[in-house]
Amino acid sequence: MPSPTDFNLSPYFDDFSESKKFHRVLFRPAFAVQARELTQSQTILQNQIEKVGDHLFKQGALIIPGQVSIDTEYYAVKLTSIDSSNTLAQFTTGTILTGSSSGVTAEITKTEATDGTDPDTIFVKYSKTGTNNTADVFSDGETLTGTNSDSVSLSCVVDTTATGSAAGVQAGVYYINGFFVQNDTETLILDKYTNTPSYRVGLTITESFITSTDDTSLLDNATGSSNANATGAHRFKIDLTLAKLTEDSTADSSFVELFRLKSGRLQNRPITDVRTSIEDTLARRTFDESGDYVVDDFELDDILGQYSLQKICKTVGLTLNGRK
């Protein structure tokens, strides 16, 4: 499917129309080049790439490893307070915290600031049981201490602990709206304190125009020339953000579903690099040529002993070590 963004507006005026069947822009000497012509050169090429992409891939297909994951043991630690010399932002990912009374240790994976209802919360991965070798989570009311990567000493007090749930995606490339779009590694908390989530999980698509005001690297970098740091062309950007929707949500105009969860159980598999037409054609041709067949031989498990295996071979007319 094509991008929903309209490029036929000021100052771009890209009025490309597939119905005109233009496939190249032919520039001519002694005639001024229009900005529209340069833009349409890209649009014509993108239109061809999109046709190939749509033939090979489904919308939202994973092209380069960016696998998704589901974690229903995403441990949460609700905080009563944080030491006055600290801020929640200083409790950075990877910091090791130790319980003062339980002796349990854990590594911080994510933090969530209070929203007015839920308290400040730290999400952790437990790495070591307590001093009594039985406690495996932090105790209610105990003090946690640690030191972050900036050598800042941290201290906070536990309210209660819980088991939450989260989804994650690794950096990769997905086929989105006719483009091959890169995404960043992300973790999305599904439910903070429960681990039976029911959601549609996927990627929110955000398309935007970027100017040199938004990104100064777009200014002319021709150092030493008269137009150094001059403004120039804008850029079209596509961002992918891991997001969740309710099960019955139909807000799909800028959302691509990767998988669906029902009470913590996966209901459908994420779309991988599905090459629909080619895959179906190859499967059909293989079947026409060879029919049904076994790729790997069946292995006979000699659980009945050598004598029984000899009887089996004799029954079907085979030999075993030269004996019938």
Is residue 234 domain-shared with residue 207, that is, in the same domain? Answer: yes
Residues near 47 by Cβ (< 8 Å), separated by ≥ 6? 16, 18
Provide the pLDDT for residue 282.
77
Q: How far apart are CA 100 and CA 130, in angstroms?
A: 10
Mean pLDDT of all residues in 252-262: 91
- Confirm whether 217 is domain-assigned: yes
Same-domain status, 71 and 43 = no
Q: Are residues 163 and 45 in the same domain?
A: no
Evaluate whether residue 262 is within a structural domain. Answer: yes
pLDDT for 2 equals 82
Same domain, 126 and 243: yes
Q: Give the whole-angstrom CA distance, residue 291 versus residue 295.
A: 12
Whether 42 and 158 map to the same domain: the answer is no
244, 259, 274 — which closes off a domain?
274
pLDDT band at 21 (very low <50, low <70, confident <90, very high): very high
Q: How many domains is the chain partitioned into structurally?
A: 2
Helix, strand, coil tally for the chain in percent (to 5): 15, 35, 50
Task: Look at residue 110 in the predicted model and tell me its pLDDT.
Answer: 96
Measured between its terminal Cα atoms, the distance across the chain in Å is 65
Q: What average pLDDT does the chain have?
A: 89
Q: How confident is the model at residue 303 (pLDDT cuts 50, 70, 90)?
A: low
pLDDT of 106 above 60: yes
Coil, strand or helix at 33: coil
Q: Does some domain include residue 142? A: yes
Q: How confident is the model at residue 276 (pLDDT cuts 50, 70, 90)?
A: low
Does residue 312 form part of some domain? Answer: no
Residue where a domain terminates, one of 253, 274, 295:
274
Q: What is the pLDDT of residues 63-84, one digit of tens each?
A: 887 888 999 999 999 999 999 9
Mean pLDDT of 92-97: 96
| The domain boundary residue, chosen from 13, 28, 56 | 56
Claim to verify: residue 49 and residue 90 sit in the same structural domain? no
pLDDT at 285: 82
Q: What is the pTM of this model?
A: 0.77
For the segment 150-158, the average pLDDT, to the nearest whole number, is 97
Residue 286 forms part of a structural domain: no
CA–CA–CA angle 60, 64, 66 (5° rounding):
70
Could you tell me where the beta strands, DSSP code E, fall in 33-129? 62-64, 68-82, 96-99, 105-112, 121-128
159 and 80 share one domain: yes
| 291 part of a folded domain | no
Mean per-residue pLDDT, 259-271: 85
Whether 50 and 194 map to the same domain: the answer is no
- What pLDDT score was predicted for residue 115? 92
The answer to whether residues 169 and 99 belong to one domain is: yes
CB atoms within 10 A of CB 78: 19
Is there a domain that residue 153 lies in? yes
Other CB atoms within a 10 A radius of the CB of residue 175 amount to 23
Same domain, 96 and 40: no
Taking only the tens place, the pLDDT of each residue in 211-245 is 999 999 999 999 999 999 999 999 999 999 999 99
How many Cβ atoms are within 10 Å of 177's Cβ, its own excluded? 19
In a domain? residue 265? yes
Determine the structural domain holding residue 183 and report its residue range. Answer: 60-274
pLDDT beyond 70 at 305? no
Whether residue 122 sits in one domain with residue 39: no
> Does residue 13 sit in the same domain as residue 76?
no
